[in-house]
Chains A and B, each alone.
Chain A
């Protein structure tokens, strides 16, 4: 891996788009890490939720967009419920996910693929919200 030095800035279009979608403010975050500590899906994440917020504070949307994290997030909102600074990390992750889905024009989850993935125990509501979350 070659590491390139970044220049932190909040003046990027990508960040403006994300913040526009979610309407929350990453700047409020003090990096306490409570979101990552509480996240039930963290074992599948390459970038932890508090790191997502930090990257967004520094305007590095593309790093978050390229992460596995945005697809591993189950949108359980545990992070948002427990955040002491009202940052709402789930909303930020959702916004990055949407920015990717909208631009790609494609669907991360196609309706035809659902029967193969679903099983008897899966509640119907989960299937509906999965389609809403991962499809345009």
Chain B
């Protein structure tokens, strides 16, 4: 017979408010095998933990049941407590009477009844618990960073500076991301290129960093400390080793129809192109969908004029397989399409542009060389209207229900910069709320209003009608109650941010979850903000939710710290709660292999002697390093030959029996 101790936690008033904890302890004392039961205000505190240790020693406890919060929260805490008192940590069982009981019920009598039932189930399971010993696995001292924007670059630099090898995989031909497109950064107005491009160079020249640009992650397998990743390096059609980056090919390419992604379509580029002058690597890429040679077999001008003979039409995609200890996802964000917002005339009128287009239009290195002119007639606008929340905080289905977070600040920045450079230009901003929480952020926005005279109008724009060479912007000033019309020359729309279109697919490949808007989900919104639910995979930047540059850089540093913490470990403790196959019962049907989401089960041929005759048989075998202990196979197994350690079929049945008591 086991000697079980039950410890009931009040969790302050969290549990004690809805559950009569003293009664739970009293009932537990009468359960089979229980020799000691006690309740205490905070069982996870030092006092509470000492109470458990002392009881193990004094009462010779062989099993411990803690009725408290979710095992997600404190199972590891109480396992450590038991281990410190000389008990195998896997002999501890947690009854979740907080999330599963106290927090979701109001009736104290019913709540107490349920808490007792949950405790009884835990006692029944604990009786059958077996001591388990965790195994060990090694850690590959190399990190993978997916995404080469500011989030990925910062993460990679921090990890590399700590002495670990890092590979950056960037989908587009150059690193730099969205930040490279921006002109100035709030709230200090430093030039974006001046603070970003040195970081790009640092990353490219760092001895511990390898760049894979124009590349994508193709498949991911393995587990924390031992991921195996296949990276597809798309054919650039230019030999990077030979290319000197002179740019002659891009200059002479006769195909000029493709719109420059970097300039938000405000300028065209050749079929062979370098996205922007400061691109890293400074090696052109051929857009095979646009290239005349690839379409018709004729042309090949770039190849003929290249002084280094670097153009290679035959170049093929290359797949590189590499092992990593940690993965950081830093894939960034995009802006929504505005085709559902016809009232703003975006796409209909050339002088209605997005904020990102405005960034390019006012950028010194942009399509107009920094000259502030409107796209239609290249005249300088006299009145500029900014519209915020275009698709943000929109529950109609046309946009996104969340706040895009960065628009209030960049709109204030845009309006301020215009008024600073061209005091004769009037700037008005239509807003629903001005949200500027951040260090020196509110002061920045107020400066736009108070010092630079930007007209802020609380209210939305209902419609925009072009009239001669003007755009009549019809809105409302909700504060004065006046309806408003402004004869604008240029309208700038702060479109909502969104997750990358392929975020969900990448999440599936990595076994990390995404929320309803396809942003990656952090393990805990407050306490584990840069970790995913999958061990060894971390999150940085706007792929986790809308974020500005300061926040992205902080998060990137935090993700790097987490990755470094993992890479610095010599060995990782593996979860001993994995499945085992009873080969005597296994029929070799391999239904388990098909259901296993981690590829942890494979067929194995064993030799055995049947009545003196040697024969071979196929059975299932579990790779304990890959098994995550989900238990799917135990249910699929028709012969009942697979069992999950720590959650055996007998234990589960005992729990069910105890609840139906």
Interface residues of A (CB under 8 A from B): 3, 5-11, 25, 27-28, 31, 51, 54-55, 57-58, 60
Give the Cβ gap from A28 to chain B, nearest Cβ, in Å.
5
> For the complex, what is the distance from the CA of A7 to the CA of B476, rounded to whole Å?
10
Give the Cβ gap from A55 to chain B, nearest Cβ, in Å.
6
Q: CB distance B483 to A5 under 8 Å?
A: yes
Q: CB distance A58 to B482 under 8 Å?
A: yes
B426 within 8 A of A: yes
> B443-456 vs A: 1/0 string, CB under 8 Å?
00010011001010
Please name all residues of chain B whose beta carbon is closer than 8 Å to the beta carbon of A28 when the two chains form the complex: 446, 449-450
- With A31-B458, A54-B479 as contacts: A9 and B426 at CB distance below 8 Å: yes
- With A5-B474, A8-B428, A10-B455 as contacts: A27 and B480 at CB distance below 8 Å: no
Interface residues of A, dominant DSSP: loop
Q: Closest 7 interchain pairs by CB? A: A5-B485, A54-B479, A54-B480, A5-B483, A27-B450, A6-B482, A31-B479
B477 within 8 A of A: yes
B179 within 8 A of A: no
B486 within 8 A of A: yes
Q: CB distance B449 to A55 under 8 Å?
A: no
The total of Cβ contacts below 8 Å across the A-B interface reads: 49
> For the complex, what is the distance from the CA of A7 to the CA of B488, rounded to whole Å?
11
Give the Cβ gap from A126 to chain B, nearest Cβ, in Å.
32
Please name all residues of chain A whose beta carbon is closer than 8 Å to the beta carbon of B458 when the two chains form the complex: 31
B487 within 8 A of A: yes
Q: CB distance B450 to A58 under 8 Å?
A: no
B484 within 8 A of A: yes
- With A8-B455, A8-B457, A9-B426 as contacts: A55 and B450 at CB distance below 8 Å: no
Please name all residues of chain B whose beta carbon is closer than 8 Å to the beta carbon of A60 when the two chains form the complex: 480, 482
- With A8-B428, A8-B486 as contacts: A58 and B480 at CB distance below 8 Å: yes
> For the complex, what is the distance from the CA of A129 to the CA of B483, rounded to whole Å?
38
Give the Cβ gap from B32 to chain A, nearest Cβ, in Å.
66
Q: CB distance A55 to B474 under 8 Å?
A: no
Please name all residues of chain B whose beta carbon is closer than 8 Å to the beta carbon of A7 when the two chains form the complex: 484-487
Give the Cβ gap from B481 to chain A, nearest Cβ, in Å.
8
Q: CB distance A54 to B477 under 8 Å?
A: yes
> For the complex, what is the distance from the CA of A3 to the CA of B477, rounded to whole Å?
13
Please name all residues of chain A whose beta carbon is closer than 8 Å to the beta carbon of B426 when the two chains form the complex: 9, 11
Please name all residues of chain B whose beta carbon is closer than 8 Å to the beta carbon of A58 when the two chains form the complex: 455, 457, 477, 480, 482
Q: Tell me how many residues of B have a C-beta within 8 Å of chain A.
A: 19
Please name all residues of chain B whose beta carbon is closer than 8 Å to the beta carbon of A6 when the two chains form the complex: 477, 482-485
> For the complex, what is the distance from the CA of A116 to the CA of B588, rounded to whole Å?
112
Give the Cβ gap from B72 to chain A, nearest Cβ, in Å.
43
Q: Which of B446, B450, B474, B477 is A8 in contact with, Cβ under 8 Å?
A: B477
> Which B residues from 457 to 514 make CB contacts under 8 A with A?
457-458, 474, 477, 479-480, 482-487
Query: Known pairs A7-B485, A54-B480. 17 more at Cβ < 8 A?
Result: A3-B483, A5-B474, A5-B482, A5-B483, A6-B482, A6-B483, A6-B484, A7-B484, A7-B487, A8-B428, A8-B457, A9-B426, A25-B450, A27-B450, A28-B450, A54-B477, A58-B480
> For the complex, what is the distance from the CA of A9 to the CA of B485, rounded to whole Å?
11
> For the complex, what is the distance from the CA of A3 to the CA of B481, rounded to whole Å?
11
> For the complex, what is the distance from the CA of A57 to the CA of B450, rounded to whole Å?
11
Please name all residues of chain B whose beta carbon is closer than 8 Å to the beta carbon of A51 when the two chains form the complex: 479-480
Please name all residues of chain A whose beta carbon is closer than 8 Å to the beta carbon of B450 when the two chains form the complex: 25, 27-28
Please name all residues of chain A whose beta carbon is closer than 8 Å to the beta carbon of B457 when the two chains form the complex: 8, 58
Q: Using CB atoms, name the residue of chain A closest to B476.
A: A5
Give the Cβ gap from A38 to chain B, nearest Cβ, in Å.
18
> B431-453 vs A: 1/0 string, CB under 8 Å?
00000000000000010011001
Give the Cβ gap from A22 to chain B, nearest Cβ, in Å.
16
Please name all residues of chain A whose beta carbon is closer than 8 Å to the beta carbon of B477 when the two chains form the complex: 6, 8, 54, 58
Q: CB distance B483 to A55 under 8 Å?
A: no
- Which of B453, B482, B487 has the most A CB atoms < 10 Å from its CB? B482
Please name all residues of chain A whose beta carbon is closer than 8 Å to the beta carbon of B449 when the two chains form the complex: 27-28
Give the Cβ gap from B462 to chain A, nearest Cβ, in Å.
11
> For the complex, what is the distance from the CA of A55 to the CA of B479, rounded to whole Å?
9
Q: Using CB atoms, name the residue of chain A closest to B434.
A: A30
Q: Using CB atoms, name the residue of chain B closest to A57.
A: B455
- With A27-B450, A31-B458 as contacts: A55 and B485 at CB distance below 8 Å: no
Please name all residues of chain B whose beta carbon is closer than 8 Å to the beta carbon of A25 when the two chains form the complex: 450
> For the complex, what is the distance from the CA of A46 to the CA of B477, rounded to whole Å?
18
Q: Identify 11 residue pairs between A and B in the complex whose beta-carbon atoms are under 8 Å apart, listed by A's number.
A: A5-B485, A6-B483, A8-B484, A8-B486, A10-B453, A11-B426, A31-B479, A54-B480, A57-B455, A60-B480, A60-B482
Give the Cβ gap from A96 to chain B, nearest Cβ, in Å.
15
Q: Using CB atoms, name the residue of chain A closest to B486.
A: A7
> For the complex, what is the distance from the CA of A11 to the CA of B480, rounded to whole Å?
18
- Which of B426, B428, B479, B486 has the most A CB atoms < 10 Å from its CB? B479
Please name all residues of chain A whose beta carbon is closer than 8 Å to the beta carbon of B484 when the two chains form the complex: 5-8
